[in-house]
Amino acid sequence: MDIWELVKEDFNEKIPRRTAILVKEEDYSLSFAYPSEFSSIGYLFDHRKNSSYDESPIFSIRFGEYYFPDLTGKNLARNLFYYERMEYLPSLIKRRIVFSNVGLEAEEEFSQAVGGGFIWKIKLICKNHPPFELEKIFYTIVTVNENRVKVEYLPDSNMLKMILKDRDVFLVSNFDDYAVYKDIDDAIEDLKDGKIKKDDEIGRCIILEHRIRLSPSESKEIKFGISTFSQEKAKEVLKIEGQSRIKDIWNNWFLSLPRPELRGEDEKKAYYKCWWTIRLNYYYDERYGKTVIEALPVYRGYWQWSLPAVQIHTCLNPEVGPPFIKKLIDLFLEYQREDGYITHAIYLDEEIPGERWAKQNIIQTPHIPWVALRYYFFTKDRESLKFWYPRLKRYYQYLCRSRDDDFLKLHLWAIISAYDTGMDDYPAFQMCTFKEKSEYGRGERFCYPAIFSAERCYFEKAMGKIAEVIGIIDEAEYWYRESENTKEAMDRFLWDREKRWYGVLHEDGSLETIIGVDGLFPFAYGLVSKDKAEIARENFIQLLGKYGIYTVSPLEERFHEDTYWQGPAWPLSCLYGMATAFNYYPDLMEEIKEGLINFILKHPGVWECMSAKTGKIARGPYDVLATPVVSSNVGAGSAIGTFLIYYGKNIFSLQGEEL
């Protein structure tokens, strides 16, 4: 079964973000490349550790930006072309290029090389009619995002070494000459005469000269080997022929993964596309070893709210395995504060893990106990549970103090910001997140949402089960009593009888009920009676969209179709929707699965969120368009979990089943 070909995606210049199409330098590196603007033939390269929404490439390379001479035989000209075809496969980009101003067409391939490094091949094919030959000089431009870069030429391999602040870059190619300039404007002055000057070794712009002389139908291949690790790797890259080994590596891995009895090509493609996204987020860190980071190209680190999805895909992935989730839980608990607080996120570039978010006391959905329990079901590792248990008790005590005792003492948990939940701009949370900038025009210190009531109840149930496993029976009974008290409080304070859904209790005591994903959590965890679930059925049906589960019902006044958690579907909302249907509405599971498949296959990459009606990519509250490939742990992992639930494996079960 050729899954590598199955997941292939056609794309064009209309992809919402170019970083949906990326190739990594090595499986466990942060270094990756993605297409430059589609008016040029080239790639942008990034290998930063810091998390950021902004594109900020370390350097770029663009082939044939200019050529000399033009039709007059005297002037420098810019190349004009269009992409006839663009395809994206795991570790490979293939494009067909048609030049409109010179008699050339090109077949381009950019890929990760076996063993590491990038290989870029451009086969130029002369389209002139006999007897006219093509004779031009093509100029490739390398631009470094630093002002003063020293460039060394290594003649034995026709290699350039760019000495950057944090990491050198090695580029080997069959170029005919090169020159270094302060900037592109200086270079253009020389190129106007069809010449380059080798006066400097320091600058941020490097011009590579390719002398092209072809007879009609003749071809020439321009090749580049690129490495941010070593000159040896850059040299080795050019010796690699074909993509068969990359294809074999991916197919062997795909076939090693557990898979349900998938039906149809679209379902198979969606399932394996999620796994492809996950593998793009492998990383080797000097402190943490082999890991799966939250998500290139934006989130370089680990997030507390992604732990359930991480547990799903790492425990099922033979290249990673259950030890990874143990490592991650250990990491979060190792840096637990004295008061019991556990950070919301850990960034790779932090000196003290979790220090940034700790300053704000933001936590994010506290799934850790039941994720730890799911890890135990896979491994039967009682020692880890025994080690984690007292730390999780301290975390629980912190949450009860800071999210209930300091407020209304309801035996529920409040939030002090939507960021506590991960649902950053959910409408009912805005007063305690955006304060006076909320749609209400006023702020509040806290509110009690359904999601945290469900999480408290599930936290307590999981702690009871852990206490049973490690032999503390009296404490297990305590936890189970507490979970029943939480469930009773959730039904008493948050259930809206008129609207037939769970709402949000505000600081002023008012209950705001929006049919949306917040109220979905009690259903997904199976905490709702069958009678109450039947009453809520029509509300649940409102959330079913063509591209997944709406985060806010389109019938709600505060529904916004294209804004983050105010309406668009997420893989996470699909997961909780599927769990709800599994528990109460099995006849709706097929429709939810089809919506998820439509979501995954709508665009290249697995995206954060999109309109559940049209598939248009959504925006965050601060104007930023939602991002691709950031979904490795929460998105792609949640989607895999959704498929598993559909096929009968309830990933939220606390009863001891393995997936």
Inter-CA distances, 625 with 563, 606, 608, Å: 9, 14, 10
Mean pLDDT of 322-342: 96
pLDDT band at residue 654 under the 50/70/90 scheme: very high
Domain topology for 3-247: Beta-galactosidase; Chain A, domain 5 (2.70.98)
Q: What letter does residue 587 receive in the DSSP assignment?
A: G
**Calpha distance 384→517 (Å, rounded):** 33
pLDDT band at residue 649 under the 50/70/90 scheme: very high
Among 302, 310, 398, 403, smallest CA distance to 354 is for 302
The predicted model scores a pTM of 0.96
**Calpha distance 649→659 (Å, rounded):** 6
Among 294, 334, 47, smallest CA distance to 166 is for 47
**Calpha distance 92→88 (Å, rounded):** 6
The greatest distance separating any two alpha carbons of the chain, rounded to the nearest whole angstrom, comes to 93
**Percent of the chain scoring above 90 in pLDDT:** 86
H-state helical runs in 470-513: 473-493
pLDDT band at residue 619 under the 50/70/90 scheme: very high
**Calpha distance 372→385 (Å, rounded):** 7
Residues 6 or more apart in contact with residue 149 via CB below 8 angstroms: 162, 163, 164, 202, 203, 204
**Tens-place pLDDT, residues 153-197:** 999 899 999 999 888 999 999 999 999 999 999 999 999 988 898
CA angle 539, 541, 542 (to 5 degrees): 65
Among 208, 81, 85, smallest CA distance to 142 is for 208
Domain boundaries, the chain: 3-247, 257-646
Same fold: 3-247 with 257-646: no
Residue carrying structure tokens 């890890």? 375
Residue carrying structure tokens 């589609």? 38
**Tens-place pLDDT, residues 106-128:** 999 999 998 899 999 999 999 99
Out of 3.40.605.10, 3.10.330.10, 1.10.8.290, 1.50.10.10, which CATH number does the structure's domain 257-646 have?
Answer: 1.50.10.10
Strand partners, 134: 214
Instruction: State residue 99's pLDDT score.
Output: 97
Cβ atoms of 439 and 427 closer than 8 Å = yes
**Tens-place pLDDT, residues 43-64:** 999 998 888 888 889 999 999 9
**Tens-place pLDDT, residues 232-277:** 999 998 887 667 789 999 999 999 999 899 999 999 999 999 999 9
- The answer to whether residue 658 scores a pLDDT higher than 70 is no
Angle between helices 264-279 and 244-256 (to 10 degrees): 100
- 410 CB burial (10 A radius; 0-12, 13-18, 19+): middle
Cβ atoms of 217 and 184 closer than 8 Å = no
Inter-CA distances, 598 with 19, 506, 520, 570, 611, Å: 20, 36, 21, 12, 11
CA angle 346, 348, 352 (to 5 degrees): 60
Instruction: State residue 51's pLDDT score.
Output: 84
Residue carrying structure tokens 């320091």? 202
CA angle 578, 574, 657 (to 5 degrees): 45
**Tens-place pLDDT, residues 436-480:** 877 778 899 999 999 999 999 999 999 999 999 999 999 999 999
H-state helical runs in 125-208: 184-191
Instruction: State residue 659's pLDDT score.
Output: 57
- 543 CB burial (10 A radius; 0-12, 13-18, 19+): buried
Angle between helices 382-400 and 450-469 (to 10 degrees): 140
Instruction: State residue 437's pLDDT score.
Output: 79
- Looking at residue 343, its amino acid is T
Cβ atoms of 440 and 507 closer than 8 Å = no
**Calpha distance 264→251 (Å, rounded):** 18
Can you spell out the DSSP letters for 2-47?
A: -HHHHT-EE--TT-S-GGGS-EESSTT-S-EEEE--TTSEEEEEE-
Residues 6 or more apart in contact with residue 602 via CB below 8 angstroms: 547, 610, 615
- The answer to whether residue 657 scores a pLDDT higher than 80 is no
DSSP SS3 for 520: helix
Cβ atoms of 463 and 392 closer than 8 Å = yes
